[in-house]
Structure 1
Amino acid sequence: MDVSRGNFSSSGIIYEVPPIDLPRGFNVDNAARIRKDTGMITVAVGRINDPAQADEILSSDKADMVVIGRAQLADPEFCNKAQAGKAEGIVRCVGCNQGCYDGFVSTEIPFITCLRNPALGREIEYKLTTTEYPKKVLVAGGGIAGLEAAIILKRRGHHPIVCEASDALGGQFALAGEAPRKEEMKTAALAMGEQAIREGVDVKLGTPVTASLIAELQPDEVIIAVGSTPMELKVPGSHLPLVTNSHDVLAGKLTISGKVVVVGGGLVGLEVAEYLHDQASEITVVEMMDQVAKDLGQLRSICVMENLYASGVKTLTDAKCVEIKDNAVVIESKGQLQEYPCDSVVVAIGAKSRNFENINAFCREHHIPCHVIGDAVQARRALNAVAEANEIARAI
């Protein structure tokens, strides 16, 4: 008996293709209970993405067998690596649903794919070939796009050098893991950095890429993966002390309390609202569009909205922040202005590409092939960034 649950006609659909919001192994206790009461040979499923987790389910006599689906889409060598005692090398599914559900269901892409495994379903086409002409490739940025490019380049026989301006690898994917229920994303981003180092990629932290650095390293080609930075809210009062941005909040750079207004009701704004739930006395999310969570996939949207409701977070739609005062924001809605008292304002209206013209200009001047990938092109989903990185690394 395969013990699962969910349906396609209600919010119960989240249990069909469970997103990161649901606990790992969320069906296992149900399987154990049914197995005990019926005596039937029982299979446990549902967000099982680690060999140790699977072993624990079996060794504790909760099920006779575990079935692992998406975790083997993310890494088709999952079982081989586990059997060989190399579990640290497994590329783990993080339940993002970006490639295996969201894009496919919305018809944005004609087939399922995977954020963690762009080769899914196209293994022959994506088969790595060893280069006949090894090159030194400078990768500017140590987020998941830069790391994906570096790992693929290294496996093909090139000599990638990853230069990351901050003191840690993982980029915004790791930062996203600070949001509630998304710890696995941070773990995956950090593990990707560790994997790159294990495979021999030259990594330099605290090293922003400048013209002088390029001149010193003399790379044959350059990949720009510097990511994006939060967009500023351009209204009167936007530079007052009570105003901050979503990235600084999630990075834990400051403590926020009292009444909080979050400007922006997309994915990041809603996650910031959840993140601040235990710190703030009252949270209001202001979104200028007709609904919040428009940039979330269907299943994650259900989970996030349920948690916002349970947390008492208020949302205002068709509402625009037109001014920020010392202790309030001014909101325009349906032609009417209203002030909302607050102690802090968190801006989460999106992100824009970081400026990399200095790198571009030097490469043009010295005829060094230069490739731009990920959020450095345009702020988008991690799925797009990793796919672009993989494509460029296979082409060089």
Structure 2
Amino acid sequence: MAKDALVQELVDGFDDWPAQPRPEEPASAGSCGGAARMTSELYPYDALFSPIRVNRLTLKNRIVMAPMGNIDMCEETGRPNQKMLDYFFARAKGGCGLITTGLVPVSHGIDATVTEPGGLTYFPRIDRSRTVMAGWRDLAQGVHAFGSRIFVQLTAGLGRVGNPQCLLTLKRFPASASVLPNYYMPSVPCMRLSDRRLGRIVRALGQAAADASAMGLDGVYLHGHEGYLLEQMANPAFNHRRLGRYADWRRFGLDAVREIRRRVGPDLPIMYRIDLSLALEETYGEEVLDGTYLGRMRGGRSVEQTLGYMEELVAAGVDLFDVDLGCYDNWWMPHPPASMPAGCFVPVAEAVKRRFARDGVKSNAGLPVPVVAVGKLGYPDVAERALREGACDMVMLGRPLLADPEWPNKAYAGRVDQIRPCIGCQEGCVNEFVEGGHPQCAVNPRCSFEHAMPEVPPSAASSRRVAVVGAGPAGMACALVAVRRGHEVTLMDAADELGGKLLCAGAARMKFDVENYRSYLAGQVRAAEREGGLAVELGHRAGAGELAAGGFDAIVCATGAADAVPPIPGVDGLLASGRARQASELMRDPAALAGAQSVVVVGGGVVGCECAQWLSVERGVERVCVVEALPHMMEGACTANRGHLLHVLARRGVRLLNMARVEEVRLEDAATPGGAVALRVSRNHDGHVPDPYVSWTPVLPKNVVNPLEPRIGDDWREEGLRCDLLVLACGGRADDGLFFELQKAHAAPELRNLGDAFAPGRVLEAVRAAYRLGCAL
């Protein structure tokens, strides 16, 4: 099996880094390849905020906004709407030097996955007709008003990673470079595109580039990575053609660049997004490759072939590259989740820089070709260090700029502690549009709502006394907005620390992003307390009578969720004896493991699987097993985050039992200290029960039916498990008792129930609701 040493080292490091010896954290200038903090040790950031020339265009700084797909941020005709415009204007105002749009297909009518019935689309379009042009012109002019530049990202199409529902809605198969399985539904084949149709796409790319230039956009950005159609044509893993012009896997990309250059002339910058390697053979072992469709994608482009291809692309007209690893079939790589280290792809950019320097690569404008580093670089010290050390020429920020559009301005001014950190959950920026929405952000409620929500919440008509009970993310966010509007707010919590569930959610080393966010919120609360208007009362559980007597005009209950205890016979006794623990408690108190070398986790949701990863990787527990009643582990979680966790658990030998129910638990010999915990488990052994370790194909949203999916039968059998410690990760129930007590007592003129106290969910729902409520009090 062909493997590249650099790629293999990186891939293994992405999985194992939390187990490696820790440098002093926060390390000097942040950390590359591990956890990172929002430090400012390298301020002033003179490398980040130095100009750079690309072709004839000078960019004011080295910060590039990544293409955060603008799905459903346009009218159904594809014309950019006000939502999309104000979303980009906010990032331009925030100081970003170069903005790139999300992908814009030019293959409507050829690639059926990009077009909806009736000729509508959820993608922005630049190819439809003059009716869409004004939106792009308005976008360019608005971005330029803030001194930023903007490139349009063009894609040849989606191909095998497109929505296979076109087979049902349009009666057309997805298309690709060759006959390949669809990513979402591998049982659906993608048909081979003819050379004639591919030629039409090449011409469409040239026309779209010419239109973009005419509309005042500053450059063109080709989407050539991650296994989209351009990458499918430009990689022998996907391009299995034997005859015709495009049997040469380099030809399609080179034709596209030459056609764009022919249409726009020599001066318009062309940027190309590429993966140094798909890393499929470095990710998956022989057993997986031999036993799945992935085996048909062996022999992908090697690192050496990619570097040679990039030099050919430069000769054809490319001025700028950004480079990463991976594709949809190991989706966590091009979309690094919370579980991956900071600065994960800096070595990839550095490898390209070294090659270009060795070969003296220059663009057609006679300039060195800048290389943009990507991958969890939202920590100013980490980004600055990568530039100072010459590993890259620019840094690309996607999710950090969604979390805080003012990231560049704050970094430039040295206000790093005021940057709102991304938590790496990808629930708003990626999973939201997979589920049918548009990109948003879990920690920034205004993201994609800039057109509707003011940057500064309006002052309240009159100041009111407000109590917020619960200092988790919802409570802190709501209190901060209410204070900024002029209310007198008291924030209360029974715990001695600010953070609520974030305290346990950020306890694992791999969840450093969450701990950064908790620290940020706590810092904002303490700053508001110092400035006046916000009083913080910790370590005291406020009761309904006390609150009713407090004379508050409004009381917000943000009391969170209580950990659920499943109705399993024997579990209460184990909890009382300490032989069973809630995952949220255990991760904050690892001493409770007490040398346990065998742990069973009941509940295979996100918390359960993250706990299993923490136990296996960070705590060194030898035998870990996860028991989940549903067909899939982590149903509903973002595919990238879910996939990486499953991949790590498989590599660590964690046993995953899906469609399994714990029927009873007991101590085998209650009179013997240290006796094993025994579990009686019912498990479905039907042949159609999904393989719980599959990380290369996603779980479809529940409203999307795969008509070819086999029905799961019933073949339930009992088996026994033994462990030293039982861990419960069975979700939570709304801790809403206080709210209903207050309601019954008429404790205040206005009562609100917020966050997990209303309905247990994610940070995304809690913070978004908190902002809206804070603006309405």
Spell out, residue by residue over 1:212-237, the C-alpha distance to the aligned partner (whole angstroms, 9 max, x if none).
43145321101111101111121221
Displacement, 1:203? 1.3
Equivalence for 1:268 = 607
Spell out, residue by residue over 1:201-260, the C-alpha distance to the aligned partner (whole angstroms, 9 max, x if none).
321111222124314532110111110111112122112232222122112161250322
Spell out, residue by residue over 1:14-65, the C-alpha distance to the aligned partner (whole angstroms, 9 max, x if none).
2322211221211112212211221332222221112222221222222222
Q: Distance in 2 between matches of 1:331 and 1:235?
A: 11
Q: In structure 2, which of residues 502, 524, 536 is the aligned counterpart of residue 195 of structure 1? A: 524
Secondary structure at the counterpart of residue 504 of structure 2: helix
Equivalence for 1:205 = 538
- Contiguous gaps of at least 5 residues in structure 1: none
Q: Distance in 1 between matches of 2:613 and 2:748?
A: 48
Equivalence for 2:682 = 332
| Letter matched to residue 47 of structure 1 | K
Q: Provide the TM-score with structure 1 as the length reference.
A: 0.94
Q: Note if contact 2:327-2:333 (Cα within 8 Å) is conserved in structure 1.
A: no
Q: Distance in 2 between matches of 1:172 and 1:186?
A: 11
How do residues 106-145 of structure 1 correspond to structure 2 at under 5 angstroms? 106-107=435-436, 109=437, 111-127=438-454, 128-145=457-474
Secondary structure at the counterpart of residue 98 of structure 1: coil
Q: Note if contact 2:736-2:753 (Cα within 8 Å) is conserved in structure 1.
A: no
Displacement, 1:187? 2.2
Q: Distance in 1 between matches of 2:656 and 2:747?
A: 52
Q: Distance in 1 between matches of 2:510 and 2:597?
A: 23
Equivalence for 2:17 = none
Equivalence for 1:373 = 754
Q: Distance in 1 between matches of 2:654 and 2:326?
A: 28
Q: Distance in 2 between matches of 1:9 and 1:275?
A: 25
Q: Distance in 2 between matches of 1:203 and 1:367?
A: 20
| Letter matched to residue 16 of structure 1 | P
Q: Distance in 2 between matches of 1:77 and 1:298?
A: 28
Q: Note if contact 1:233-1:349 (Cα within 8 Å) is conserved in structure 2.
A: yes
Q: Distance in 1 between matches of 2:328 and 2:736?
A: 45
Once the two structures are overlaid, the 10-residue window that deviates more, 339-348 or 208-217, is 208-217
Q: Note if contact 1:140-1:226 (Cα within 8 Å) is conserved in structure 2.
A: yes
Q: Is 1:104 matched with 2:443?
A: no
Structure with greater Cα Rg: 2
Q: Distance in 2 between matches of 1:359 and 1:83?
A: 48
Equivalence for 1:342 = 723
Q: Distance in 2 between matches of 1:255 and 1:7?
A: 36
Q: Note if contact 1:177-1:183 (Cα within 8 Å) is conserved in structure 2.
A: yes
Equivalence for 1:224 = 557
Q: In structure 1, which of residues 237, 241, 246 is the aligned counterpart of residue 583 of structure 2? A: 246
Q: Distance in 2 between matches of 1:358 and 1:338?
A: 43
| Letter matched to residue 258 of structure 1 | Q
Q: Note if contact 2:421-2:520 (Cα within 8 Å) is conserved in structure 1.
A: no
Displacement, 1:386? 0.6
Q: Distance in 2 between matches of 1:280 and 1:66?
A: 38
How do residues 13-162 of structure 1 correspond to structure 2 at under 5 angstroms? 13-39=331-357, 40-107=369-436, 109=437, 111-127=438-454, 128-162=457-491
Q: Is 1:297 matched with 2:638?
A: yes
Q: Note if contact 2:404-2:419 (Cα within 8 Å) is conserved in structure 1.
A: yes
| Letter matched to residue 351 of structure 2 | R
Q: Is 1:5 matched with 2:334?
A: no
Q: Note if contact 2:735-2:757 (Cα within 8 Å) is conserved in structure 1.
A: yes
Aligned pair in 2 of structure 1 residues 321, 133: CA closer, same or farther (>3 Å)?
same
Q: Note if contact 1:174-1:187 (Cα within 8 Å) is conserved in structure 2.
A: no
Displacement, 1:90? 0.6
| Letter matched to residue 283 of structure 1 | V
Spell out, residue by residue over 1:172-198, the C-alpha distance to the aligned partner (whole angstroms, 9 max, x if none).
123111235112202211221111211
Q: Note if contact 1:211-1:362 (Cα within 8 Å) is conserved in structure 2.
A: no
- Contiguous gaps of at least 5 residues in structure 2: 1-319, 358-368, 668-676, 684-714
Q: Distance in 2 between matches of 1:260 and 1:366?
A: 45
Q: Distance in 2 between matches of 1:348 and 1:302?
A: 19
Equivalence for 2:304 = none
Q: Distance in 2 between matches of 1:358 and 1:199?
A: 26
